[in-house]
Each structure stands twice: as structure tokens, then as C-alpha cells.
Structure 1
Amino acid sequence: MDKTMIQTVEEFNQVLQENETFLLFKNSTTCPISHAAFEEFENFVADQDQVPCYYLNVQEARQLSNHIAEATGVKHESPQALMFKGGDVVWNASHWKITYSSLQENVK
């Protein structure tokens, strides 16, 4: 499955409406830890076709990133992976905890 970049609150709300379950990755384009986690995310996305996957680059979508933190009650970090089900975050991980295997175990 492919991944889709989102950048606005409107795009995020549309994703929420259209998907019962999805994975969202918050990426920092300047952080080496985020770069490594994004590679793990990309490898996971390439190997699965069950769950829609989205990402945002925090530097380009700061308002969206803040909105997601406020709307979900999950403190913002980057990198950060958020698994949504029914509009709620049911799992999240950040930094070195974002691995191919952690995504495989928790994204269903």
C-alpha cells in the first residue's frame, strides 16, 4: 500500500471521516531519529495492504500537528506514529520505539 501526505486540518478531518482505521506518522525533516523512523514506516507501508497510511512533515504542517495533539490528547512528539480506530488513537509510539516490528505488532 502507498502512503499519502496530508498537510491541513481539513485533509485530516477527511481522512478521519473516510477511514475507520488508519496509521499516521508525524515526521521531522530535520531530525536524524525521525529519518530512521520514517524509513521503518516506509518499509512497513510497502509490505502491508490492510491499513491506510498517512504522514505529515511537522515543519510544513505545524498547525495540523498541533491540531492532532489537541484533538487526540496525545502529546506531540516527532517522530511519532499514531494508530487510529473509530476516530480515537489506540496506539502510539515515538522516536526509537517506531520500528518495523512495533508497527507490525500494533497496526491492524
Structure 2
Amino acid sequence: MDDSIGYLIVGILIIGFTFGFALQIQQVLRMRKKNEPLQKRVRYVHYVRCVAYAGFLSAYVLNIIPQTFLTDNQSNISCYLFLIILLGTYFKKSWSMQKVKL
């Protein structure tokens, strides 16, 4: 019973992350289609966010599969690194909005 609940929670997390990744791709494609005069930095942040989301999702799935060509430690470390990059891109936007007086 406990194993089935655990697999259900992991399945819901994978579905949620996949949906979020699809929304991120939609946002990048919509941004490219509009051709708004955005700063290059904003576009690069969205591209890095999309790559980090894909890397986190793939590392998370590789961490769940029991027998992969990667060891558990390597996929676990890559999952954390992509998560840190992903969260860093969300907080970087708020850091660039603040005015810092030197």
C-alpha cells in the first residue's frame, strides 16, 4: 500500500513538472513570435530557464528509474544543480529590478 502511494505521488510530480515545462516552452515561443523589443538579457534568461527546466525534469526521471547508465549520485547532483539554476533565474529577475546605490 505504501509503495503505491509513493508511486502515485511521484507520478503526479512528474506530470506537474512536465506541464510546467510545456508552459515554459509556450511562453518562449510566444515571446519569439511577438518580436517585442525585449532586452537580450531577458531572452537569455528565458532560454536558460527552459534548458534548466528540461535538465531538471530529465535528471528527476533518471533519478527515479532504478537501473540507468548514470549512478544515483550523479543524477541526484545534476537534479539539484538544475533546480538551483532554475530558481536562480526566477530570483534574478527581481534582483535586476532593484536599484542599488553605491
Question: Which structure carries more helix by proportion?
Answer: 2
* TM-score w.r.t. length of structure 1: 0.32
* TM-score w.r.t. length of structure 2: 0.33
Question: Which structure carries more strand by proportion?
Answer: 1
- Structure index of larger Rg: 2
